[in-house]
Copies of this chain bind each other. A is one copy, B any other.
Amino acid sequence: MTQQIPTRLYLSDEEIPKNWLNIRAYMKDKPSPMLHPGTLKPVTEQDLEPVFCKELIKQELDESSQLIEIPQELQDFYRAFRPAPLIRARFLEKVLETPAEIYYKFEGTNTSGSHKLNSAAAQAYYAKEEGFTSLATETGAGQWGSAMAMACAFYGIKLTVFMVKVSAKQKPYRKTLIETYGANLIPSPSDTTNAGRAVLEKDPNTNGSLGCAISEAVELALTSKNSRYVLGSVLNHVLLHQSIIGQEVKAAFDKYGIEPDIIIGCAGGGSNLGGLIAPFMALRLQGKSKTHFIAVEPASCPSFTRGRYAYDFGDTAMTTPLIKMMTLGNAFMPSPSHAGGLRYHGMNSALSKLYKDGFLEARTAQQKDVFEAAIRFAKIEGILPAPESAHAIKAAIDEALKCKKTGEKKTILFGLTGTGSFDMSAYADYNSGNMSDYIPTEADLEKGFSSIPNIPQNRS
């Protein structure tokens, strides 16, 4: 029975989901397995054990469990910042004069400012459970670093964050936030690792890159006692943790009898998108719904829309396992864009497979259009979004305006992954007219593609 739908759809304590949902278990055609870069054979738990926590490896390789219970102690931590608000965008609907119903799931009310804390909390929890006393990671825009710093402070784990040097300079407040939670922040490349020193030797004035920061973090984890490496996107276990987003939406929608026609998420490595759509994609894969899924990526880094479906490395140093994914090539250099969280060359393998199999639409958005949508949304609905999240807002507004034309009363859900509180310099650029759009040329793309390793690509 449908109750009257309030502006904010809350879940009572009993209604809060206690399980993550593993989308791979619902896929008839599974994503291709991760390969060991030396042997080109599927990686084993043993291969990954020096780098990751055991339970996370199990989750990474698990393609059959549909639901995985969230440990009680972690559920308690989630309760400090979840459920995240699910809001009916009544004011936006009114201004757009659309017959569509628009909902958004807002993940930005915790101090880290984004959904990243969902996986950070889980990864820190398992590290603590397995007796690790320190962790290492990298961060680009800083959302993941902030989230890991919070989670590690909570569980009493020492954390080192390698932050891309240019970001550490451009976002000093992100740096302060991470340090305030007690983490050790090192601008990357640094002279604390072989990987960092090698890069500095070539170019002492380099701005750094996510690829190099990953290499430094992995090296530190491997060479430290009682330590492991953690990562905030792309991998399957990260998407699993992020499914709490979709699980909460599903529970609330079920409570009020709402069925989404369209679900929209911004897409970088896929952590938010995969988490948001998980339970709804599971229904679609079972033929139980016709929900349409839209991934929105920046025109400056179009992994889905202009990438290749191929085995590629996760990092530019080409040290990670090979992942079959939509990729622009590990050497692809995205232009400076303010949506730092979406500047990754590849995409989670399950989402890549779903895209190739036609279950997921992808489209791009230009930076200036994205900021225009962001500010429009902020003025109407109150929340100033992160530039990443604003990609989804742009598409949601577009879809709602289509409904206005056709008269269709569609139900649209989008993921509002975080706040723009730490992105004010980007907004200042937009306000002053100093922002430009950028679309990679075919030559830019070819340069990236040439870095995709030349191995048999037909494994699946």
Contacts and interface: CB of A to CB of B under 8 A. Distances in A.
Contacts of A382: 80-81, 110-111, 150, 154
A10 B10 contact: yes
Given A10-B12, A176-B431, 7 more contacts: A7-B79, A111-B384, A172-B428, A176-B424, A176-B428, A177-B424, A180-B431
Q: List the 9 closest pairs (A to B, CB-CB), nearest first.
A: A173-B424, A153-B379, A7-B79, A421-B421, A6-B13, A109-B109, A176-B424, A176-B428, A111-B384
A81 B381 CA distance: 9
Nearest to A179: B431
A359 interface: no
A89 B6 CA distance: 27
A8 interface: yes
Interface in A377-407: 378-384
17 contacts: A6-B79, A80-B87, A80-B382, A81-B382, A110-B383, A111-B382, A111-B421, A153-B379, A154-B379, A154-B382, A172-B424, A173-B424, A176-B427, A179-B428, A180-B378, A419-B421, A421-B422
A18 interface: no
A181 interface: yes
Tell which of A153, A172, A173 has the most Cβ of chain B within 10 Å. Answer: A173
Given A154-B379, A378-B180, A431-B176, A7 B80 contact: yes
Q: How many copies does the complex hold?
A: 2
A68 to B, nearest CB: 22
Contact of A380 (B6, B154, B378, B428): B154
Contacts of A12: 10
Contacts of A33: none
A172 B113 CA distance: 19
Interface string A178-221: 01111000000000000000000000000000000000000000
Interface string A1-34: 0001011101011000000000000000000000
B87 A91 contact: no
Tell which of A80, A85, A421 has the most Cβ of chain B within 10 Å. Answer: A80
Nearest to A171: B424
A7 B379 contact: no
B180 A80 contact: no
A273 to B, nearest CB: 23
A90 interface: yes
Interface string A279-296: 000000000000000000
Given A79-B7, A173-B424, A176-B428, A111 B379 contact: no
Interface string A433-445: 0000000000000
Contacts of A172: 424, 428
B111 A419 contact: yes
Contacts of A176: 424-425, 427-428, 431
A166 interface: no
A177 B384 contact: yes
A254 interface: no
A97 interface: no
Nearest to A81: B382
Contacts of A383: 110-111
A354 interface: no
A76 interface: yes
A262 interface: no
Interface in A62-93: 76, 79-81, 85, 87, 90-91
A375 interface: yes
A42 to B, nearest CB: 38
Contacts of A109: 85, 109
Contact of A378 (B153, B381, B422): B153
Contacts of A420: 111
B177 A7 contact: no
Nearest to A150: B382
A380 to B, nearest CB: 7
Nearest to A88: B79
Contacts of A91: 80, 154
A79 B421 contact: no
A81 B76 CA distance: 24
